[in-house]
Amino acid sequence: MALTFNGGSGSNSISGVADGVSIDGTGAARIPAGTTAQRPASPSTGDLRYNTSTALVEIYSGTAWVVVGDQASSYTVETLIIAGGGGGGCRDSGAGAGAGGLLSSSSLVNTGSAYSVTVGAGGAGANGVNPSATGTNGSNSVFNSLTAIGGGAGAGNGTAANSGGSGGGTSGENPSGSPGSGTAGQGNSGGAGSTSPRIAGGGGGAGAAGASGGSGGTGGAGSNAYSTWASATSTGASGYYAGGGGGGAESASAGAGGAGGGGAGTATSSANATSGTANTGGGGGGKGGGPNAGSGGTGGSGLVIIRYAGSQRGSGGTIVSSGGYTYHTFTSSGTYTA
């Protein structure tokens, strides 16, 4: 009888091993261990190893690595949860809205259990017919007791900005109060409006605060810390998520949206500001250009991505495998079954 062990760079055989004799002298056979990335480059059918990334024993079936038996009643998933972005303000120089909160975490899920996934909607932009109007905050996104907070709305003339995952900016026309604040660990504050030139502040983003009107009113940049997730799931905006909306202007150029789906402001009378990009949590742009009709941009809807190391174990959402991970992407509310 011979036992063969593949250590990744070669094989070692132990011949003449009788049944019941342990390899390490402690009553247990010791098999190779390593991460998912350290799997043998050219495995043979029947190769057995302990995957330290998944804490599971796996065997090569000839075409794929599969988990041996029902080893665990729970396993670890990583989650990226992005709330809906806020709606932009109006009207002479309405402010950009804050991005939806961005939250990442690891948690245990129980095999066979169902978990509700809530993907938050973007907030509505304020209507330009109203002389002074703040937009509406975005809605929260939730998974497994983890909640990302909806983005704060952008302010209108003389109205207050809202706080949220990231905060909304203040108007360039009769600005009132401070910009909205962001939620710790999820986003940043909005920018303050400027009366000369008359440009509203940009909404905050997951990666940076919104710019003040005096600095152009650009929405705060989102986060590109999850560009690998974005690439694997074909989501985000050029690798970024949760950018703030740009501020509207009356006597200058409006602010651009922040990287990560933030909508641009407008300086054109009667024109609507740009909405945040769907499923990025981007904040809506602010409506500027004067008192005529037009609205602040609607916030971009949120997103929930669940991933774990190894081959597919759960169900729900759009499923892809990339780089040793399985991803479940939810662009609308649903259920993840572990």
Q: How far is CA 155 from the centre of its chain?
A: 25
The residue to which tokens 């074909």 are assigned: 234
Average pLDDT over residues 148-156: 98
- Residue range 264-298, pLDDT digits in tens: 999 987 889 999 999 999 999 999 987 777 899 99
Residue 76, exposed/middle/buried by CB under 10 A (0-12, 13-18, 19+)? middle
CA terminus-to-terminus distance, the chain: 40
Is residue 313 scored above 80 in pLDDT? yes
Could you tell me what percent of the chain has a pLDDT over 70?
Answer: 89
- 174-217 residue pLDDT tens: 888 999 999 999 999 999 999 999 999 999 999 999 999 999 99
Q: Which residue is listed with tokens 């303050």?
A: 192
C-alpha 14: how far from chain center: 50
Residue 218 Cα distances to 96, 107, 282, 285, 329, angstroms: 8, 35, 13, 9, 29
The answer, as to whether pTM is greater than 0.75, is yes
